[in-house]
Amino acid sequence: MNKLILLRHGQSQWNLENRFTGWKDVPLTEQGKKEAKKAGQELKKMGIHIDVVFSSKLSRSIETAKIAIKRFNSSGMIVNNITRIEALNERDYGDLSGKYKDELIKTYGEKKVLEWRRSFRINPPKGESLEDVLKRIKPFLNRKILPLLKKGKNILLVAHGNA
């Protein structure tokens, strides 16, 4: 049976700093690189052959994919065959991007910040709701991922928590 493996990127610098990241291109921390290596080791333990790799266009996702693949596949053959898809980018947090979550809680209250982060239909200021993210990703899943799965391909998709 074929597999679709979903992998969230490792810890980024702004994850560490408790900041809204969204579409900002923020690198992995050393911890994030370790997490990516561990993910690759787990994939190797599973003994699954991966046919196709997709990531978002953000470096934290691409780097996680490269590190995990190197750990999983010592020959590294598919490292250069990562298809980068903008539709898989993290949720756009708009005006919240780059801001510290704790400071926003002090300004707007915990309830409002939680609403921006977790509500399905409510957009953060000038950003995307989770519903918007789903609408962005769904065509890619239907047009690209499902046909590959139906062809019996094993897919590794490296993206973001909200995507």
Q: Please, which residues bridge with residue 155 across strands? A: 4, 52
Query: So which residues are the catalytic ones?
Result: 9, 90
pLDDT digits (tens, 9 = 90+) for 55-89: 999 999 999 999 999 888 755 556 668 999 999 99
Cα gap 87→139, rounded to integer Å: 9
pLDDT tens profile 119-148: 999 999 999 999 999 999 999 999 999 999
The helix (run of H) or strand (run of E) holding residue 130 is helix 130-140
- Tell if the pTM clears 0.75, that is, is over it: yes
Q: How many CB atoms lie within 10 A of CB 90?
A: 26
Instruction: Please give the structure tokens belonging to residue 82.
Output: 């990562």
In angstroms, rounded to a whole number, what is the distance separating the alpha carbons of residues 81 and 97?
30
Alpha helices in the chain (DSSP H): 13-16, 30-46, 59-72, 101-108, 110-118, 130-140, 146-150
d(CA 32, CA 15): 10
pLDDT-based confidence at 48, cuts 50/70/90?
confident
CA distance 93 to 20: 7
